[in-house]
């Protein structure tokens, strides 16, 4: 239990190793999505590659809220085989699969349960029932929202994370576990309608449960009945998308919106709202429900037990320059997250060694749900393709800052395609801030990860 909480707390820094990195997508779309990809009549070759990632890590020795156990290993290596492909089974029927098999090496990892991991990210069928009308069934990674740092309408992100070389939130949206669901889509001129249902297939597994090497983790992605409806359309230069999401008795409303300003700037926003408790109440209720926490555990730090309407918001802008440079800046608001008083309570309560593991459980829960821990956050990202006219090279960087205490998480990444078959990447990241700040309170301080890929 304590080890699981530690791993999840470190995951909140988004700096783990043992991962593969997919190229980022352009997440500033016209809101109307395109139809599912249809392969050519002749069978095509998907994307397959071998990859190795080696990382060095540094850790803080003195923490305001202590963590049980010794210092984690300062190195880790992961070798993996990764594949994404699509096959035509009939004129209007295709199959899609995305999978990664990894073997990890570091101090303290046992073989095979901890060292070997197979992640079935997607496996589904797509049937074009009528022109521009699609029915899909299987494990699908659906992601909504137009923001970069935090997407309030990305309703299917909880409990789907897999290890990442990159700390970039955009990468986490692409390289994650899908959810088993039925999905119907209808595309029309200037718009789209989408309805999906994801059934409960297993009771939710406890936070930090060690899965077997071949466990598909259905108990994480399908632990509750969920339904969603989305309607997208275009109005002049606006591309709004309205969403209604239902899960475990909670209904949320969502809105995604983007709008060009001039020739090089796109403003965007994503909002979601619904009745919900604070992250403190939610985390402790989940711990009791999964029997991770005893039923008599109090709600600490003290928080109101009642639900109220809570808002989540991301607003920002994306700028494209002439020299293949792009910049984005956004403000993120997560009303269920920690206020300044909540942070004071977290540090004060966690100073008691008998309660420190409970405080880290709260942090681990937020990370597992892929929700911000703090209430106010700024996110800035820069990308530079072919820097200094170096072909086949890319540079990107981001900084995520807690606006209440000024602590930050950041990363600089360099990528270079040596040839059509080989590529190399380097990810250097870290977190900084005072001992009693969001990012400065974590044990993980910095990392550098070297990644080599051979495309097949």
pLDDT tens digits, 134-153: 999 999 999 999 999 999 99
Burial class of residue 393 (count of CB atoms within 10 Å of its CB; 0-12, 13-18, 19+)? middle
User: What is the predicted pLDDT for the residue at 369?
Assistant: 96
Q: Give the number of other Cβ atoms within 10 Å of residue 451's Cβ.
A: 23
| pLDDT beyond 60 at 25 | no
Average pLDDT over residues 231-250: 92
Cβ-based neighbour number of residue 372 at 10 Å: 26
What angle, 0 to 180 degrees and rounded to 10, lies between the N-to-C axes of helices 2-11 and 356-369?
Answer: 50
**Could you give the CA distance from residue 445 to residue 129 in angstroms, rounded to a whole number?**
52
| 14-22 mean pLDDT | 32
pLDDT of 270 over the 70 cut: yes
Residue 28 has pLDDT above 50, yes or no: no
Helix, strand and coil percent figures for the chain, each rounded to 5: 15, 45, 40
pTM: 0.89
Q: What is the pLDDT of residue 8?
A: 32
The DSSP call for residue 342 is H
Q: Is the pLDDT of residue 275 over 50?
A: yes
pLDDT band at 450 (very low <50, low <70, confident <90, very high): very high
Return mean pLDDT, the chain. Answer: 89
Total domains in the fold of the chain: 1
CB 408 within 8 A of CB 427: no
Q: Is the pLDDT of residue 39 over 50?
A: no
Whether residue 180 is predicted with pLDDT greater than 60 in this model: the reply is yes
Residue 454's nearest CA partner among 427, 428, 418, 426 is 418
The reported pLDDT for the residue numbered 36 is 53
Q: What is the per-residue pLDDT for 235?
A: 84
Q: What's the pLDDT score for residue 42? A: 39
State the pLDDT at residue 18: 31
Mean pLDDT over residues 197-204, rounded?
96
Q: What is the pLDDT of residue 68?
A: 86
Question: What average pLDDT does the segment 252-260 reach?
Answer: 96
Rg (CA), the chain: 22
Question: What is the average pLDDT across 99-111?
Answer: 91
Residues 6+ apart with CB under 8 A from 110: none
In the chain, % of residues over pLDDT 70: 90
35 and 391 Cβ atoms separated by less than 8 Å? no
- CATH number of the domain residue 86 falls in: 2.40.160.10
What residues form DSSP beta bridges with 449? 55, 427
Q: How confident is the model at residue 110 (pLDDT cuts 50, 70, 90)?
A: confident
- Cα–Cα distances in angstroms (integers) from residue 318 to residues 166, 300, 327, 334, in the given order: 21, 39, 6, 21
pLDDT-based confidence at 44, cuts 50/70/90? low
Banded pLDDT at 208 (limits 50, 70, 90): confident
Q: What is the mean pLDDT of the segment spanning 348-356?
A: 96
pLDDT for 365 equals 97
Tell me the residue range of the domain where 168 lies: 2-455
In the chain, what percentage of residues exceed pLDDT 90? 81
Helix (H, G, I), strand (E, B) or coil at 121: strand
């Amino acid at each position: 239990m304590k080890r699981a909480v530690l791993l999840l707390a470190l995951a909140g820094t988004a700096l783990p190793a043992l991962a593969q990195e997919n190229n980022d997508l352009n997440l500033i779309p016209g809101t109307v999505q395109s139809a599912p990809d249809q392969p050519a009549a002749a069978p095509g070759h998907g994307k397959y590659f071998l990859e190795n990632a080696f990382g060095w890590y540094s850790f803080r020795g003195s923490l305001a809220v202590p963590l049980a156990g010794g210092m984690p290993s300062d190195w880790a290596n992961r070798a993996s085989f990764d594949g994404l492909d699509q096959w035509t089974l009939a004129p209007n029927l295709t199959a899609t699969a995305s999978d990664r098999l990894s073997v990890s090496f570091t101090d303290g990892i046992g073989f095979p349960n901890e060292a070997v991991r197979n992640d079935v990210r997607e496996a589904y069928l797509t049937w074009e029932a009528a022109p521009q009308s699609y029915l899909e069934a299987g494990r699908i990674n659906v992601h909504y929202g137009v923001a970069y740092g935090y997407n309030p309408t990305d309703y299917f992100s909880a409990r789907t994370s897999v290890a990442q070389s990159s700390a970039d939130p955009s990468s986490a949206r692409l390289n994650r576990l899908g959810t088993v669901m039925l999905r119907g889509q209808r595309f029309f001129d200037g718009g789209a309608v989408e309805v999906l249902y994801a059934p409960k297939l297993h009771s939710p597994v406890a936070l930090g449960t060690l899965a077997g090497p071949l466990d598909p983790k259905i108990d994480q992605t399908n632990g509750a009945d969920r339904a969603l409806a989305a309607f997208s359309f275009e109005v002049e230069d606006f591309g709004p998308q309205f969403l209604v999401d239902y899960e475990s008795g909670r209904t949320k409303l969502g809105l995604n919106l983007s709008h060009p300003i001039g020739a090089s700037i796109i403003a965007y926003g994503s909002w979601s709202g619904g009745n919900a408790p604070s992250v403190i109440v939610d985390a402790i209720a989940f711990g009791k429900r999964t029997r991770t926490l005893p039923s008599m555990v109090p709600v600490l730090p003290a928080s109101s037990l009642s639900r109220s309407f809570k808002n989540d918001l991301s607003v920002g802008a994306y700028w494209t320059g002439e020299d293949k440079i792009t910049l984005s800046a956004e403000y993120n608001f997560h009303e269920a997250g920690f206020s300044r008083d909540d942070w004071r309570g977290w540090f004060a309560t966690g100073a008691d060694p008998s309660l420190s593991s409970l405080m880290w459980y709260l942090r681990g829960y937020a990370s597992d749900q892929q929700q911000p821990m703090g209430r106010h956050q700024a996110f800035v990202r820069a990308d530079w393709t072919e820097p200094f006219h170096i072909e086949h090279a890319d540079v990107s960087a981001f900084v995520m800052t807690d606006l209440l205490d000024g602590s930050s998480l950041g990363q600089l990444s360099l990528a270079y395609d040596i040839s059509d078959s080989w590529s190399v990447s380097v990810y250097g990241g870290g977190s900084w801030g005072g001992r009693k700040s969001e990012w400065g309170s974590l044990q993980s301080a910095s990392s550098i990860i070297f990644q080599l890929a051979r495309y097949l």
